[in-house]
């Protein structure tokens, strides 16, 4: 594998070679978790797949919240990008509002750049209030807003006073940070500061939130279906098919499930610190992972009835898919995959591929941080409630592989047992010996690795799907699921298995000649006599 990596990078100038090597690791031993360089600026000149800060804030985290009006202060292209390219699926509840079909923009023009755009923003808020009467509004900044110095915070504060509804400003100018990851953080901070905690609903038994689930292809609905069947009460899903009303009450849950750690670990941790609600790393992608997550959750509550019901639901759900999963596994067994997605799916989907007998030989993230690769060391320290009363000390102990969270006497008495909490193991641990893990992969490297490793399937996004498809390799989008789905949970696993088998077995591949069939394998120069 070392030779493979060196061959893929050999054309780089020395400086670029040195830098890129730090972002690529080979897992040489089973238990080893080598250090990787991540979350740094992409080398100028290299084309990266990454998005921008605004995409992470407005496009990913805020965008799916259905009952808020999301105004983009900026040029129409930015507005359209973060609206029209995301698959925000939502169900309208009777009497509630859903604005997801609208793209709200100040449509900044050259004159606004020269003379300032605050007036236009004020007008846009006024129109939104008059036409739609929303309960709350978000304003997201695009690059020019920061460059010309429009004060969206002042405009938001003024509008909040004037209209008597929450108007939240997000200074998520696209150029901030090194990727969309900075935008997740900005969105998380503001939701935590202004929305989470203002609700006063009375929670029911077994109340949970699902954090970092964006309902792509209906994944959130499929997860909810199973959790409802077991008897959980989901207060808020953040933020797929999410609602302002639900998010206000997120602090009332007993525990937070974290699906995408990268985009929402900030909220999970802030809720933990402020309200003493722990979080559990979940994975509802893959049959085995879903079962593990459900068992973990039932064990967290430690209620015998819940544990029994969980087993019953697992049995029922498995009975519905087992035969067909076996069929697809027979078709896919022994194949290899190359995964390259944003900041969490490259890990989650390996588990589902494992269910189908497919091994991931190379995988990477666009913008993950080191903890997503290498895992998290410590989860909890000290918990307090909102008023800083009832301080609970939670001790974290590490045994050989797992962390156990030992609760305070009071909480222990309430729950009657010690509760094992999962920690986040990271992607490297999930991969096999001799696999390659790569950060901020670019198009050049994608092509090189495909040529050298010849995986049977490639999972990525719209920016490289077709290049790889033209190389004769089955190429599937894991951001949008190629408009299929759901892929989560039990039934979703089957939809994924069907889609992947259909992709691998399509007769189209025989009409494509991969470059390695026509290109010379050894390059060299002929010496003149």
Q: Tell me which residues touch ligand HCA (CB under 6 A).
A: 51, 55, 59, 85-86, 180, 342, 461-463, 477, 479
If one asks whether residue 455 binds ligand CFM (CB under 6 A), the answer comes out as no
Catalytic residue (choose from 8, 38, 53, 55): 55
**Is the Cβ of residue 344 or residue 380 nearer to ligand CFM in the bound state?**
344
CA distance 146 to 152: 9
Tokens 């002042």 appear where?
A: 154
Catalytic residue (choose from 70, 86, 251, 262): 86
Asked whether 226 and 489 are in contact (CB, 8 A), the reply is: yes
Report which residue's Cβ sits closest to ligand CFM.
Answer: 342
DSSP 85: T
Candidate residues 8, 52, 57, 60; the one interacting with ligand CFM per rule CB under 6 A: 60
Q: Which pair of tokens denotes residue 9?
A: 């990078």
If one asks whether residue 185 binds ligand CFM (CB under 6 A), the answer comes out as no
For residue 30, the minimal CB distance to ligand CFM (Å) is: 26
**Is the Cβ of residue 108 or residue 247 nearer to ligand CFM in the bound state?**
247
Tokens 């309208």 appear where?
A: 92
Catalytic residue (choose from 8, 38, 52, 493): 52
Site string for ligand CFM, 238-277 (x = CB under 6 A): ----------------------x-xx--------------
Out of ligand HCA, ligand CFM, none, which partner does residue 227 contact, by CB within 5 to 8 A per kind? none
If one asks whether residue 379 binds ligand CFM (CB under 6 A), the answer comes out as no
**Is the Cβ of residue 117 or residue 485 nearer to ligand CFM in the bound state?**
485
If one asks whether residue 50 binds ligand CFM (CB under 6 A), the answer comes out as no
For residue 147, the minimal CB distance to ligand HCA (Å) is: 21
If one asks whether residue 56 binds ligand CFM (CB under 6 A), the answer comes out as yes
CA distance 23 to 281: 25
Out of ligand HCA, ligand CFM, none, which partner does residue 214 contact, by CB within 5 to 8 A per kind? ligand CFM
Out of ligand CFM, ligand HCA, none, which partner does residue 455 contact, by CB within 5 to 8 A per kind? none
Cα–Cα distances in angstroms (integers) from residue 244 to residues 197, 250, 292, in the given order: 11, 10, 30
Contacts of 469 (CB under 8 A, 6+ apart): 475, 512
If one asks whether residue 344 binds ligand CFM (CB under 6 A), the answer comes out as yes
CA distance 83 to 100: 8
**Is the Cβ of residue 229 or residue 463 nearer to ligand HCA in the bound state?**
463
For residue 250, the minimal CB distance to ligand HCA (Å) is: 23
The greatest distance separating any two alpha carbons of the chain, rounded to the nearest whole angstrom, comes to: 89
**Quick check: is 260 catalytic?**
no
DSSP 379: -
Out of ligand HCA, ligand CFM, none, which partner does residue 462 contact, by CB within 5 to 8 A per kind? ligand HCA
CA distance 338 to 268: 30
Report which residue's Cβ sits closest to ligand HCA.
Answer: 461
DSSP 517: G
Cα–Cα distances in angstroms (integers) from residue 368 to residues 41, 280, 360, 399, 410, in the given order: 12, 19, 18, 27, 37
Question: Which residue spans within 90-226 are E strands per DSSP?
Answer: 104-105, 136-141, 166-170, 207-213
Out of ligand CFM, ligand HCA, none, which partner does residue 260 contact, by CB within 5 to 8 A per kind? ligand CFM
Task: For the chain, count helices (H), then strands (E).
Answer: 21, 19
If one asks whether residue 78 binds ligand CFM (CB under 6 A), the answer comes out as no
Cβ neighbours around 204 below 10 Å, total: 11
Tokens 């969980």 appear where?
A: 310
For residue 25, the minimal CB distance to ligand CFM (Å) is: 19
Cα torsion 53, 37, 363, 268: sign: negative
* Backbone φ and ψ of 180, nearest 5°: -65, -15
**Is the Cβ of residue 345 or residue 383 nearer to ligand CFM in the bound state?**
345
**Quick check: is 86 catalytic?**
yes
Tokens 């804030």 appear where?
A: 57
For residue 472, the minimal CB distance to ligand HCA (Å) is: 21
Candidate residues 286, 343, 455, 486; the one interacting with ligand CFM per rule CB under 6 A: 343
**Quick check: is 53 catalytic?**
no
Residue 393, strand partner residues:
382
Q: Which pair of tokens denotes residue 120?
A: 């236009």
If one asks whether residue 479 binds ligand CFM (CB under 6 A), the answer comes out as yes
Q: Which pair of tokens denotes residue 355?
A: 């269910």
If one asks whether residue 160 binds ligand CFM (CB under 6 A), the answer comes out as no
What's the CA angle centered on 330, arms 329 and 335, to 5 degrees? Answer: 75
**Quick check: is 184 catalytic?**
yes
Using left for φ > 0, alpha for ψ between -120 and 50, and beta otherwise, residue 386 falls in: alpha
Site for ligand CFM in 202-231 (CB under 6 A): 212, 214, 216
Which residues belong to the active site? 52, 55, 86, 184
Q: Which residues contribute to the site for ligand CFM (CB under 6 A)? A: 56, 60, 180, 212, 214, 216, 260, 262-263, 341-345, 479
């Amino acid at each position: 594998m070392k030779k493979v990596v060196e061959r893929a990078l050999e054309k780089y100038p020395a400086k670029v070679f040195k830098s890129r090597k730090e972002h690529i690791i080979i897992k040489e031993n089973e238990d080893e978790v080598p250090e990787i360089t991540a979350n740094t600026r992409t080398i100028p000149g290299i084309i990266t797949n990454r998005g921008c800060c605004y995409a992470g804030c407005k496009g990913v985290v805020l965008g799916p919240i259905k009952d808020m009006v999301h105004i983009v202060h900026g040029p129409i292209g930015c507005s359209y990008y973060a609206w029209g390219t995301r698959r925000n699926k939502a169900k309208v509840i009777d009497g509630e509002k859903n604005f997801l079909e609208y793209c709200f923009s100040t449509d900044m023009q050259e004159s606004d750049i020269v003379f300032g755009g605050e007036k236009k923003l004020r007008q846009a808020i006024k129109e939104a209030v008059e036409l739609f009467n929303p309960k709350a509004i978000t304003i997201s900044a695009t690059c020019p807003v920061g460059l010309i110095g429009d004060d969206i915070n002042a405009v938001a504060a003024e509008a909040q006073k004037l209209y008597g509804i929450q108007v939240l400003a997000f200074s998520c100018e696209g150029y901030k940070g090194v990727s969309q990851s900075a935008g997740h953080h900005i969105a998380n901070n503001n939701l935590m500061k202004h929305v989470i905690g203002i609700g006063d609903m009375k929670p029911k038994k077994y109340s949970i939130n699902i954090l970092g689930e964006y309902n792509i292809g209906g994944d959130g609905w499929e997860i909810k279906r199973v959790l409802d069947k077991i008897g959980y009460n989901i207060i808020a899903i953040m933020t797929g098919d999410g609602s302002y009303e639900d998010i206000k009450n997120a602090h009332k849950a007993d525990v937070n499930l974290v699906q995408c750690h990268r985009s929402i670990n900030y909220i999970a941790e802030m809720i933990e610190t402020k309200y003493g609600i722990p979080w559990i790393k979940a994975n509802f992608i893959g049959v085995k992972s879903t079962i593990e997550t459900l068992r973990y959750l039932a064990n967290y509550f430690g209620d015998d009835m819940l544990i029994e019901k969980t087993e019953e639901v697992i049995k029922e759900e498995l009975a519905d898919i087992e035969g067909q999963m076996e069929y697809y596994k027979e078709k896919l067994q022994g194949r290899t995959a190359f995964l390259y997605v944003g900041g969490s799916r490259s890990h989650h989907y390996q588990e589902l591929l494992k269910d189908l007998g497919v091994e991931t030989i190379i995988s990477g993230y666009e913008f993950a941080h080191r903890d997503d690769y290498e895992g998290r060391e410590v989860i909890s320290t000290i918990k307090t409630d909102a008023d800083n009363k009832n301080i609970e000390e939670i001790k974290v102990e590490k045994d050989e592989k797992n962390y156990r969270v030992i609760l305070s006497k009071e909480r222990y008495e309430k729950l009657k047992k010690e509760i094992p909490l999962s920690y986040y193991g990271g992607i490297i641990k999930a991969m096999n010996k001799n696999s390659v893990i790569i950060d901020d992969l670019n198009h050049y490297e994608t092509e090189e690795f495909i040529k050298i490793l010849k995986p049977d399937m490639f999972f990525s996004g719209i920016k490289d799907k077709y290049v790889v498809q033209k190389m004769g390799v089955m190429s599937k989008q894991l951001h949008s699921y190629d408009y299929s789905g759901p892929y989560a949970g039990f039934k979703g696993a089957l939809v994924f298995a069907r889609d992947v088998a259909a992709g691998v077995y399509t007769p189209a591949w025989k009409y494509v000649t991969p470059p390695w069939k026509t290109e010379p394998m050894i390059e060299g120069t002929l010496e003149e006599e």
